[in-house]
Amino acid sequence: TFYTDAEGTNPWFDYSIGIFLDDCVENVDIQNNTIFGHTQWGVFLHAANQVTFKGNTLFDNRVCQIVLYHNGGNCPIRGDIIKQNIFVAKSPTQMVAQIESNADDLLQYGTIDSNFYARPFNEEATIRGVINSVQGGNFNLAGWQSFSGGQDLHSKTSPITYQENNADGAGGTNRVYSTFDQDSNGWEIVYSRYGNAAIALDNTNKLDGGSVRFAFPTPSGQTNSYAQLVKRVGVLKKGKKYVLRFDAIASANVSLLVHLRTYGPPFTEFGRRYYVSLDSTRQSFELIYDVADDASDAIIMMQTDVEGPVIWIDNVRLQEDVLIGNNPDDFIKLINNPTLKDSTIVLPAGSYRDVYNVSYTNSLQLKPFTSAVLFREPPVVSPADLSISLETDKRVLRVNEISTFRLRIRNQSETPASLARWTSRLPANMEFVVPSGQIYNDNVLTGI
């Protein structure tokens, strides 16, 4: 099914769902459908029971691909079988799945397993899970598997992932650059519901030298606690694109909300909210914001809603005027055969993979009324070849004599390396007198 009407101002005229089972519908078999392009959800199962939903492909439905939602305790969802489906969010703003309950009974919903949950341009926070009406959040697949208590244990994510912006947009003006090697660089706790959150510099090399430690040293014992860590940015300009990059790690699985907004009322937000999933493995994040209005006192806000895990953050960089975004249409294709005969479909130039990691070039064959979602193989890029040298203006130095050093970094390849991180340690028995604006700690210069 495909919704073709243009967007309108009346939500009821701009509200399409591919398949909708409402209020206590039961004993329905839905198999081998392709559902795409709807303005709301691909499939909405509202308090529907004993539903078999297998072998379906849901693609590029604007809000979410599939939703399972309770009815306030009436007809609680039971006995559903949701297996071997392909759920693909083409845009990084679309959700892949939303599964909510007013009780703690997600395992009783039935069997949800062996599906593909793909959002290649942002694999974080693709699945919304909620119990007891308010507990939960947006999870990646691993987080959803844990939160649900065991659903989707054999399910998989995208076979290929992509960056939201291409390498041509790596430059831009730095508005924030926080490495936490010497101080907190103006980051602060702006709000803690029970006053027990705190940040501190951590020099135990959790990430790259120093980092900021975001935690709750004294537990409140409350389940609705949260805290907000912010950094004032100042002016944001209408029509500009901003990219926020940072590294993070946590002591346990935790979701972190990250967005741009004004410091004070009316608390205007810029671009979209991101939920990133953290764990004990270091991760690097790149979040894109399009600013629709001017702001004079903007902030970066990071919010955690769980007191237990400790979060470490480093290398925070906000850039303005990063212009080039990737178009999902250039990377992800839905190919279908609407005819009564087997068909050979000619593919656009390039190599592609499906969710099963089968490769295709030039063409593929599809049986009648079947489809395939194809992901373009990214081009092979040669690694950058960088060299670093340190030169001094004097061959021989006396004790306490000042010398000028020049550090040069050369890219000896044609591959751009605008985001490369470098370090250089001074020779032994020397120390910086004037670092010329460079970041240093323990006589080690660092930069990007």
The per-residue pLDDT for range 235-263, each reduced to its tens digit, is 998 888 888 989 999 999 999 999 999 99
The per-residue pLDDT for range 201-240, each reduced to its tens digit, is 998 888 888 899 999 999 999 989 999 999 999 999 888 8
Could you write out the three-class secondary structure of the chain? CCCCCCCCCCHHHCCCEEEEECCCCEEEEEECCEEECCCCEEEEEECCEEEEEECCEEECCCCEEEEEECCCCCCCCCCEEEECCEEECCCCCCEEEEEECCCCCHHHHEEEECCEEECCCCCCCCEEEEECCCEEEEECHHHHHHHHCCCCCCCECCCCCCCCECHHHCCCEEEEEECCCCCCCCCEEEEECCCCCEEEEECCCCCCCCEEEEECCCCCCCCCCCEEEEEEEEEECCCCEEEEEEEEEECCCEEEEEEEEECCCCCCEEEEEEEEEECCCCEEEEEEEECCCCEEEEEEEEEECCCCCCEEEEEEEEEECCCCECCHHHCEEEEEECCCCCEEEEEEEEEEECCCCCEEEEEEEECCCEEEEEEECCCCCCCCCEEEEEEECCCCCCCCCCCCEEEEEEECCCCCCCCCCEEEECCCCCCCCCCCCCEEECCEEEEC
Which amino acid, 278?
L
4 has a pLDDT exceeding 60: no
Q: How many CB atoms lie within 10 A of CB 270?
A: 20
The per-residue pLDDT for range 187-197, each reduced to its tens digit, is 999 999 999 99
What is the phi-psi region of residue 125: left when phi exceeds 0, alpha when psi lies from -120 to 50, beta otherwise?
left
The per-residue pLDDT for range 394-413, each reduced to its tens digit, is 878 788 888 887 778 888 88
C-alpha span between 139 and 128 (Å, rounded): 6
9 has a pLDDT exceeding 50: no
In this prediction, residue 131 carries a pLDDT of 94
